Every structure is written in structure tokens, then in C-alpha cells.
Amino acid sequence: MIRVEGVGRWGDGELRELRELRELGELRELGELRELRERGELGELRELRELGE
């Protein structure tokens, strides 16, 4: 688990999701990432991006 300043603690799976989103060009503000994470929507966002391409 890694602590990300302004976001909180992130597990390996979540960091992998963030890396994939970054690779897809889906860079987000830290506050927005925190909200997506709290709602459990990081994976859904990635899936939507993949379907849209």
C-alpha cells in the first residue's frame, strides 16, 4: 500500500488502475481521483474508455 499525497492510501490494484488510466490519457485531478475511488468507479471509468476506443 502506498500513500499518495492529497488522496490517501492506495493498494497495488488501485495503483495499477491509475497507471492504466494515465496510459489511456485519462489524467485526473487528485480530488477527482479520490472521489472516483470512494465511489468505486476507477475500474468502470477504465472500462468505459476501452469501449469508447
pLDDT at 11: 72
Residue-level pLDDT at 24: 64
HSE-up of 21 (CA within 13 Å, CB side)? 23
Q: How far apart are CA 51 and CA 15, in angstroms?
A: 21
pLDDT of residue 27: 56
Residue 19 belongs to domain spanning? 2-52
pLDDT digits (tens, 9 = 90+) for 3-49: 556 556 667 777 777 777 777 666 555 567 767 777 776 667 667 66
Q: Give the chain's domain count.
A: 1
pLDDT of residue 19: 76
pTM score over 0.95 = no
* pLDDT number for residue 31: 64
Beta strand pairing status for 8-10 and 2-4? antiparallel
